[in-house]
Amino acid sequence: MNEKEEQLSHILEKHRGERNGLIPILLEVQKEFGYLPKEAMLTVAGFLGMKPTDVWGVATFFNQFRLTPLGKNHVKVCMGTACHLAGGRLVLEALERELKIKVGETSGDGHFSLERVACIGCCMLAPVTVIKDKIHPKMSPFKVEESLIPYRREEQEEQTPTE
């Protein structure tokens, strides 16, 4: 925990005296921790002399901010117009079925989380999913299972030696 506090104060120091600090700080905190922990938000509020409710208000307003940790393999499904017309919803439903989680959730073992995003700007490759920052173009419900195989294998390999 101490290490985390240190990381946080390091981030805050970088932004000391900045006038538009809140959103950049929250973005950096999230980059560091993967989400916005409650304690971190309280510290940020204290540092900026803001009410915690105002920090909370901003954290819950913007799509980028998350209040719970993501899975190790974060799956984003593009729901832009082109992806929607090309059947993005069917892909999202197939992912929900395959990962056994609903959109916005993280699986119980923390391996996968599923999110819908507005548009990642790759409309010519629609429908698109992004798994752990790798773009999977021209998806279909049928291709979903196959696209997850490498990430599932990775998880299994990591687990085997410890077992």
Partner 1 sequence: MLQRGRLSFEEIRKRANAHWEALEKGVHVFVGTATCGRAAGALDVIDAFKNELARQGVDLPILQVGCIGLCYAEPLVIISKPELRIAYHNISPDLVPRLVEGYLLGDDPCLELALGTFEVDQKGTPSIPELSRFEHERRLILRHCGYVDPENIDDYIANGGYTAIEKALRMEPEEIIEEVKKSALRGRGGAGFYTGLKWDSCHKTTDKTKYVVCNADEGDPGAFMDRVILESDPQQMIEGMIIAGYAVGAQQGFIYVRAEYPLAIERVRKALEQAEEIGVLGENILGSGFSFQIKIAEGAGAFVSGEATALVAAMEGRRSEPRVRPPRLAESGLWGCPTLLNNVKTFSFVPLIVAHGAEEFASIGTEKNTGTAVFTLAGKIRYPGLTEVPMGTTLRTMVYDIAGGMSNERRLKAVQIGGPSGGCIPESLIDLPVDFDSLYETGSMMGSGGMIFMDEDDCAVDTARFFLDFTTKESCGKCTMCRMGTVQLLSILEEICAGRAREKDLQLLKELAEDVKMGSLCGLGRSAPNPVLTTLRYFGDEYKAHILEKRCPALVCKDLIAYYILPDKCDRACEHCVLVCPTEAIKGGKGEVKYIDQEKCSKCGTCLEVCPHEYNAVAKISPVSKLPKVPMAGKTQPKEGPKQ
Note the residues at the interface with partner 1 (CB under 8 A): 19-24, 26-27, 48, 54, 57-58, 61-65, 79-82, 84-85, 87, 90, 93-94, 97, 117-126, 128, 135, 137, 140-142
Locus of tokens 């932004």: 15
Nearest distance in Å: CB 139, partner 1:
11
| Contact in structure between 41 and 59 (CB atoms under 8 Å) | yes
Nearest distance in Å: CB 42, partner 1:
16
Nearest distance in Å: CB 64, partner 1:
4
Compare residues 84 and 132 and give the one whose CB is closer to partner 1.
84
Q: Helix 22-33 and helix 2-14: axis angle, to 10°?
A: 150
Compare residues 1 and 149 and give the one whose CB is closer to partner 1.
149
Nearest distance in Å: CB 24, partner 1:
6
**β strands within the chain, DSSP E:** 73-78, 112-117, 129-131, 134-136
- CB count within 10 Å of CB 77 equals 27
DSSP string of 74-98, one letter each residue = EEEEE-SHHHHHTTHHHHHHHHHHH
Compare residues 51 and 158 and give the one whose CB is closer to partner 1.
51
Q: In terms of DSSP bridges, do strands 129-131 and 112-117 run parallel, antiparallel, or are they unpaired? A: unpaired
Integer Rg of the chain from CA: 18
- Tell me the C-alpha distance between 91 and 31, whole Å: 28
Compare residues 2 and 64 and give the one whose CB is closer to partner 1.
64
Nearest distance in Å: CB 12, partner 1:
14
Compare residues 1 and 61 and give the one whose CB is closer to partner 1.
61
